[in-house]
């Protein structure tokens, strides 16, 4: 079995979940980070929580001092890619982990839906991409541990790749606890 821990940052309004960025780390050492070139930048900048917590981690072009206008996504940054290209890269990343791949995320229900929607409706999920995501919180609950018992993230919380790396640390920590329980 190879696990892939992942995290998405997204814009959601109770009706839609729009990809902002995705980070993935595989047990075999590979990593993926991509930012959606097509998300609604004005909506993210206008969303107080995303503006404060997610936007600062994205590759952004700042206006020079004295120049009016809003900061915007740096479309020349290699991590910033069209959504369709991200969909192909993510499918390749998951399939390269082999047939026994497991997906893991933290409070991952929305992450799974946003991930699956990269390829359109549910029936369009590529062969070999798991139809569900294991949840760190479910495993924590199964082991009878309180939320506060989990290792805390040291830095860059809400940067999708930093969050994915932290999820890997927490999942492995839980696996240790599960073995010794
Ligand atoms: Mg995150």
What are the tens digits of pLDDT across the range 84-119? 999 999 999 999 999 999 999 999 999 999 999 999
pLDDT over 70 for what percent of the chain?
99
pLDDT band at residue 75 using 50, 70 and 90 as cut-offs: very high
pLDDT band at residue 170 using 50, 70 and 90 as cut-offs: very high
The Å distance, Cα 68 to ligand 1 centre, comes to 30
Write down the pLDDT at residue 158: 96
The Å distance, Cα 164 to ligand 1 centre, comes to 7
Neighbours of 177 (CB within 10 A): 16
Write down the pLDDT at residue 65: 83
The Å distance, Cα 11 to ligand 1 centre, comes to 12
Its pTM stands at 0.95
The Å distance, Cα 39 to ligand 1 centre, comes to 16
The Å distance, Cα 135 to ligand 1 centre, comes to 14
Write down the pLDDT at residue 111: 98
The Å distance, Cα 52 to ligand 1 centre, comes to 13
The Å distance, Cα 138 to ligand 1 centre, comes to 17
The Å distance, Cα 114 to ligand 1 centre, comes to 13
pLDDT band at residue 70 using 50, 70 and 90 as cut-offs: confident
Q: Which of 36-50, 61-75, 139-153 has the lowest mean pLDDT?
A: 61-75
The Å distance, Cα 67 to ligand 1 centre, comes to 32
The Å distance, Cα 23 to ligand 1 centre, comes to 9
Write down the pLDDT at residue 108: 98
The Å distance, Cα 180 to ligand 1 centre, comes to 29
Write down the pLDDT at residue 67: 80
pLDDT band at residue 69 using 50, 70 and 90 as cut-offs: confident
């Amino acid at each position: 079995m190879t696990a892939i821990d992942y995290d998405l940052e997204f814009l959601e309004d109770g009706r839609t979940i729009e990809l902002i960025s995705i980070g993935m780390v595989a047990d075999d050492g590979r990593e993926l980070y991509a930012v959606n070139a097509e998300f609604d930048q004005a909506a993210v900048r206008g969303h107080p929580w995303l503006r404060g917590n997610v936007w600062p981690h994205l590759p952004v072009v700042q206006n020079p001092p004295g120049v009016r206008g809003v900061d915007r996504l740096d479309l020349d940054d290699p991590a910033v890619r069209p959504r369709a290209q991200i969909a192909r890269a993510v499918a390749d990343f998951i399939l390269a982990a082999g047939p026994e791949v497991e997906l893991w995320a933290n409070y991952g229900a929305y992450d799974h839906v946003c991930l699956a929607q990269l390829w359109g409706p549910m029936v369009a999920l590529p062969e070999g991409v798991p139809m569900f995501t294991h949840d760190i919180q479910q495993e924590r609950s199964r082991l009878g541990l309180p939320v506060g018992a989990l290792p805390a993230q040291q830095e860059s919380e809400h940067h999708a790749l930093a969050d994915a790396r932290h999820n890997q640390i927490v999942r492995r920590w839980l696996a240790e606890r599960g073995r010794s329980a």
